[in-house]
Amino acid sequence: MITYHTDDVKMPVFPKRKTSAWIKQVAALHGRTVGDIAYIFCSDEKILDVNRTYLEHDYYTDIITFDYSEGNIISGDLFISLDTVRTNAEKFAVAYDSELYRVIIHGVLHLCGIDDKAPGARAVMERYENEALRLLDTSPAT
């Protein structure tokens, strides 16, 4: 089950049923089945607190993924800072919705085992993100 929550921010407007179907489609393309995924949309301050408390990192980020996957069933808690999503959308001159979807699927790709930290891994992650975003653009509404 995929759920969407907020912590100290307003829920972003997007078609949740269609988005959940898309997430399941992308997971399946990577040989995975969706278990329990919780998206927690939050502020920069909340994600900084999560980063400091659980990862001992002292910086803002757009997403933090806590992976609870077992075998091919992906599960996790994904914290997304809507403040950073908005800042990045402006920085990269893309629509806010596009950046939000990119971050939403970025976390799922991490749950599928795709890294973005190793040398050359960022380009692989971006390729998978772009492939997933193209699927969203062509997916029928559900």
What percentage of the chain exceeds 90 in pLDDT? 88
> For 9-58, what is each residue's pLDDT tens digit?
999 999 999 999 999 999 999 999 999 999 999 999 999 999 999 999 99
**Nearest 5 degrees, angle CA 79-CA 62-CA 37?**
30
Helix, strand, coil share (%) of the chain residues, nearest 5: 50, 20, 30
